[in-house]
Chains A and B, each alone.
Chain A
Amino acid sequence: MITAERKPLDEIMSYIEPYHRILLVGCNECVTVCAAGGRKEVAMLSSALQLASMKNGKTLSVNELTLERQCDPEYVDTLAPQIEGAEAIVSMACGCGVQELARRYGQVRVFPAVNTKFMGASERAGVWAERCQGCGDCLLGLTGGICPIARCSKRLFNGPCGGSNNGKCEVSSEMDCAWALIWEKMKELGTTDQYEAVISAKDWRSGRGGGPRKIIREDLQ
Chain B
Amino acid sequence: MRPETGLTREEIAVLQALQYDFTLTSTPYRDAARAAGMSVEELLETARRLAEVGVLKRIGFYLNYKSEGLKAALIGIATNGRHDIIAERYKNDDNTTHVYVRNHPVYDVWVVVKRPTEQDLIEEARLLEEKYGFKTVVLFGHRTYKLSVKLDLERGVSRSGPYAYPPPETPHITMEELEIARKVRILPLVERPYRVVASQLGLAEEVLVSKVRELVRKGVLLDPGAVLNGRMVGFNSNIMVAFNPEGLENPCECTARSPYTTHVVLRRVYPEGAWKHTCYFMVHGVSRKAAREAGLETLESCGATDWIEIESLKDLKPGVVR
Binding partners A and B: no
Residues of A within 8 A of B (CB): none
- Residues of B bordering A, CB below 8 Å: none
